[in-house]
Structure 1
Amino acid sequence: MPTLCRDCDAVLIQPGAELSGACPQCGGRRLISHAELGTLAIAHIDCDAFFASVEKRDRPELRDRPVIVGGGTRGVVAACCYVARLSGVRSAMPMFKALKLCPDATVIRPDLSKYGAVAREIRDMMQRLTPLVQPLSIDEAALDLAGTEALHGAPPAAVLSRFARDVETNVGVTVSIGLAANRLRAKLAAERDKPRGFAILGADTAAVLAPEPLGTLPGIGPALVRKLAGLGMTRIGQLAALDPRTARQRLGDDGPSLVARARGEDNRRVNPVRETKSISAETTFAHDITDPVLLGRALWPLCEKLGRRLRAEQFAAAALVLKLKTARFETHTHAVRLTAPTQLPETIFEAAKPIVHQAAGPAFRLIGIGAARLVPANLADHGDLMDQESPRRAARQQAMDTIRAKFGADIIRRGTVE
């Protein structure tokens, strides 16, 4: 049985049995054995409690303390460390509830620019392993390492083990890794041994998953779990046992794909070119707002943030969506199509501000602005005979971006737009 030592990356062969105890080469005890360890090549890499881990890296005094990354008592938890999770805190939980569960937590406002820089550093390290890296979010990615054994002088399992240790040593955060024959199995494996985990799902996936709750599968949320429970299915194995015809009869057109997922089947390739569908920014108010002037003041920094994210991602917005959530948690969305694509906060603000004034009336607890239709950045802000101001604005924005890149984001600020 092939065994990987995660402390020295040695792949050891113990005829007829798993290697137990300590690694004979380094004495390490982080051993993982699997019959397919030397042949699997699809990996899912997930940073452990990423935002909170970055903050703990930068503030070592918080290492053993509960940390919540989020904003205000009316906001939600963006991330939390594993110490906070012991108290029941979870991502996307309302902050007031998280602080009731863990009142001694240190709360830190999110610093997305810092997290983005760390994510890019880790992504660069991934791309040294293989060009087939598909980002899935800021803190996770799928990799295909098939055919890289000659390049690295080691099978993918050993290469990934070394990568995890390099990230921990050089970047200061930890990752969990899943290794399998397809993307779905790799993602499921990565979730099985967090934090600092390394798990493998091979041909035995269906048997391993069979006793687990249906909510374990990606894409099966609480509503679908309740529907399946009403049909007498609560475990993955019960869903996997359905034949395609029965699945379609009982679950509709999505039935056969749900059954395939329960069996660990997935034919998606790792695609390095991932489509970005939307870019947005939003904020939750400390107190409900009805005044349209105050709503406009809250909208302006979000337009700046959206423009900054568009420029960073090399996109432009051809349409916008304004989001307003009332004090009764009713969400109102308003779409507007732009006359020309833009990356500029002033242009975004000018298009969205009239909608804010039209929508004003109820008390709002949240406002957001997003780019609903993305186009390449080179189509942005060219202007024409009727619009000679956009190119000037774009030149000013480029100059500001250059100054900020050199001297820091706070070196130059815009006044509030009314």
Structure 2
Amino acid sequence: MTDETTGFCRDCFSPVPDGAERCPACRRPRLLFHPEISSLTIAHMDCDAFYAAVEKRDNPELRDKPLIIGGGTRGVVSTCCYIARIRGVRSAMPMFKALAACPDAVVLKPDMAKYVAVARDVRALMRDLTPLVEPVSIDEAFLDLSGTERLHHASAAVSMARLAKRIEEEIGITVSVGLSHNKFLAKMASDLDKPRGFAVIGREETLSFLASKPVSMIWGVGKALETKLAREGITRISQLQKMEEHDLMARFGSMGSRLYRLSRGLDSRHVEPVHETKSISAETTFMRDISDRAELDRILWPLCDKVATRAKAAGLSGST
């Protein structure tokens, strides 16, 4: 693909002229166009409805059914397929609300050992492209493909499209890709075109793209900060783009600096393959409320033992 080419086919990876509606080579319509498509190298890849996708892969009878991965009436939804999402089910939703929204859903308990094994296979394919793979969670990761163009004889965009197709064919699940010039925007892009999507945010469009978005789309802005910003009359990123950094820091402390930078699409973080472990935890969900201290002690001990075992295996000790 030449530097002048701004589009390619996501199925056969052939260059596609601007304005085409189908690939001249394979006649398929999954085309990707962007004026900076050959120069962007930071990607975020996210598996689509990961747990549910793995279960549907392994049981074709579930393919056209709403599927929820979770457990018990007092549990929460770990994830759900897109059919269930259309019915109003969301991750982290209490199970009783999810089943009220989608009473005909099939509910399966999570099989974490299986999901970890699939995630390991996906990550191995990522590392075939670049050693700079930074896992974010079991089903998503950042990739830095800078300098890989000569190795793979393709732009980072084409390499990521090939990777997405390879995961679909060899592992049997689908992924969505975001491509940009930094991690913040790559992560944001991967959420724009789910499932089986591929979205690009270029340098030239960064400010205009962010301007219309709600402040909640900024990494680190949770409900509490969103409410605090709203009390100040700030609901859109465009408002933050008009403010000075020292003013934002005076109002919001160190978070003000982050708001200033990310509202302008500035993110200097590198893709880091290795992360220091910040915490180790274990948890359970009760089917009924428990207030008896002795019973809680019996439940707490094996959770503590599980955390201690993991910490010992990793050669770690706690600081609190």
| TM class by smaller structure | over 0.9
**Equivalent in the alignment of 1:315:** 314
More strand by share: 1
Cα distance in 1, alignment partners of residues 83 and 44 from structure 2: 24
User: Contact between 1:10 and 1:158, CA under 8 Å: does it hold in 2?
Assistant: no
Cα distance in 2, alignment partners of residues 124 and 310 from structure 1: 25
| SS of equivalent to 2:283 | strand
Q: Deviations over 1:157-214 (max 9, x none)?
A: 1111010011111111111001111111100110111110100001112101211211
Cα distance in 2, alignment partners of residues 277 and 317 from structure 1: 10
Cα distance in 1, alignment partners of residues 60 and 136 from structure 2: 29
1:231-310 → structure 2 map (5 Å cutoff): 231-299=232-300, 301-302=302-303, 305-306=306-307, 309-310=310-311
**Equivalent in the alignment of 1:3:** 7
Using the aligned pairs only, state the percent identity.
Answer: 53
| SS of equivalent to 1:68 | strand
The alignment's TM-score, normalised by the length of structure 1, stands at 0.72
| SS of equivalent to 1:207 | helix
**Equivalent in the alignment of 1:211:** 212
The alignment's TM-score, normalised by the length of structure 2, stands at 0.92
| SS of equivalent to 2:52 | helix
Q: Which amino acid aligns with 1:156?
A: A
**Equivalent in the alignment of 1:24:** 24
User: Contact between 2:215 and 2:236, CA under 8 Å: does it hold in 1?
Assistant: yes
**Equivalent in the alignment of 2:201:** 201
Cα distance in 2, alignment partners of residues 310 and 157 from structure 1: 39
**Equivalent in the alignment of 1:169:** 169
Cα distance in 2, alignment partners of residues 10 and 309 from structure 1: 47
Q: Deviations over 1:329-383 (max 9, x none)?
A: xxxxxxxxxxxxxxxxxxxxxxxxxxxxxxxxxxxxxxxxxxx77xxxxxxxxxx
Change in 2 beyond 3 A, CA 1:301/1:55: farther
Cα distance in 2, alignment partners of residues 199 and 78 from structure 1: 25
* Greater relative CO (CA pairs within 8 A, separation 6+): 2
Residues 1:38 and 2:38 aligned together: yes
RMSD value, Cα: 1.9
| SS of equivalent to 1:206 | helix
| Structure 2: runs of 5+ lacking an equivalent | none
Change in 2 beyond 3 A, CA 1:260/1:293: same
**Equivalent in the alignment of 2:54:** 54
Cα distance in 1, alignment partners of residues 303 and 115 from structure 2: 18
Cα distance in 2, alignment partners of residues 222 and 291 from structure 1: 33
User: Contact between 2:87 and 2:101, CA under 8 Å: does it hold in 1?
Assistant: yes
User: Contact between 1:11 and 1:158, CA under 8 Å: does it hold in 2?
Assistant: no
Q: Deviations over 1:241-273 (max 9, x none)?
A: 212132223333321221211111100001111
User: Contact between 1:71 and 1:77, CA under 8 Å: does it hold in 2?
Assistant: yes
Q: Which amino acid aligns with 2:279?
A: S
Q: Deviations over 1:2-61 (max 9, x none)?
A: 10210111233x3xxx33310111111111111110011110011111111111111111
Cα distance in 2, alignment partners of residues 7 and 310 from structure 1: 44
User: What displacement does 1:302 show?
Assistant: 3.5
| Structure 1: runs of 5+ lacking an equivalent | 320-371, 374-418
| SS of equivalent to 1:281 | coil
User: Contact between 1:77 and 1:92, CA under 8 Å: does it hold in 2?
Assistant: yes
Q: Which amino acid aligns with 1:108?
A: L
**Equivalent in the alignment of 1:138:** 138
Paired residues, what number?
315
1:82-93 → structure 2 map (5 Å cutoff): 82-93=82-93
Q: Which amino acid aligns with 1:183?
A: K
**Equivalent in the alignment of 1:100:** 100
**Equivalent in the alignment of 2:151:** 151
Residues 1:192 and 2:181 aligned together: no
User: Contact between 2:311 and 2:317, CA under 8 Å: does it hold in 1?
Assistant: no
| SS of equivalent to 1:280 | coil
Change in 2 beyond 3 A, CA 1:298/1:249: closer
Cα distance in 1, alignment partners of residues 79 and 126 from structure 2: 23
User: Contact between 1:3 and 1:19, CA under 8 Å: does it hold in 2?
Assistant: no
Cα distance in 2, alignment partners of residues 270 and 254 from structure 1: 22
**Equivalent in the alignment of 1:68:** 68
Change in 2 beyond 3 A, CA 1:206/1:302: same
**Equivalent in the alignment of 1:222:** 223
| SS of equivalent to 1:118 | helix
Q: Which amino acid aligns with 2:289?
A: D
